[in-house]
Amino acid sequence: MNDILTERILSSSNLIYKIASKYKDYYCVEDLYQAGCLGVIKANNCYVENNNTKFSTYAYKFILGEIIDFIRKDKNIIISDEAYEIYKKYLKVKELLYSKYEREVSFSEICEYIGISEDKMLSIIKSVSIFKSINEDENNYNSYYSDDRELIDNEILLQSELQELDSFDRSLIEYRYYQGYSQSETAEMMGLSQAKVSRCEKLILNRIKNNIA
């Protein structure tokens, strides 16, 4: 391994761990880190010094891609059509029992109503949650990261702009870019819809971009 590649892997470590940490409840972060390092290696092989994009910005999509690919290839979380139908049934039954009893119902009550073991249901929910998260990450990247990752440059450039934001905007950006929460998680914490978070996030980033330009 040459010195430049070694330095790039080391300098990308924080970014790799940040992406990997989103899945720490399901995977060993060190395993995901190794996948992320492979992304840095691939980025290094394609990167051109004079392309006017910093390496950390350029490498982001490679790191994210390798981590997502690692997760998608995990046979333990492959979601069959049957499993996804069970998950949708779980959500419907949860609402049905809530309306019927006019109270929050327990996980065991839902499983008993469906006729499924709690362990199996937990496994299905875990798999769906992971895939929803990685799909959201991919969609977010495809929708605006290709343009705005250059703006935020590995989430560092935003730091100087945070103090200029009002409390609402600052909280949203901190949740998304400094604490690593997904849009759906941010929406839940802020009492908003995911669509509202997405709209606000884009507006804030565009405003920052115009301020810096």
What is the model's pLDDT at position 55? Answer: 82
Q: How far apart are CA 128 and CA 122, in angstroms?
A: 10
- Name the percent of the chain lying above pLDDT 90: 17
Residues 188-211 have pLDDT tens digits of: 888 888 889 999 988 988 887 776
Pairwise pLDDT comparison (77 vs 122), residue with the higher score: 122
Give the model's confidence band at 83: pLDDT under 50 very low, under 70 low, under 90 confident, else very high.
Answer: confident
Distance of CA 40 to the CA centre of its chain: 18
What is the model's pLDDT at position 41? Answer: 94
What is the model's pLDDT at position 126? Answer: 80
Residue 169 CB contacts under 8 Å (≥ 6 apart), including other chains: 200, 204
Residues 33-78 have pLDDT tens digits of: 999 999 999 999 988 776 567 787 788 888 888 988 888 777 566 6
What's the rounded mean pLDDT across residues 29-35? 92
What is the model's pLDDT at position 111? Answer: 93
Residue 22 CB contacts under 8 Å (≥ 6 apart), including other chains: 133, 137, 180, 182
What is the model's pLDDT at position 179? Answer: 65
Tokens of 148: 């705005």
Is it the case that residue 165 has pLDDT exceeding 90? no
Is it the case that residue 143 has pLDDT exceeding 60? no
- Name the percent of the chain lying above pLDDT 70: 79
The domains of the chain are located at: 3-157, 158-213
CATH node for 158-213? 1.10.10.10
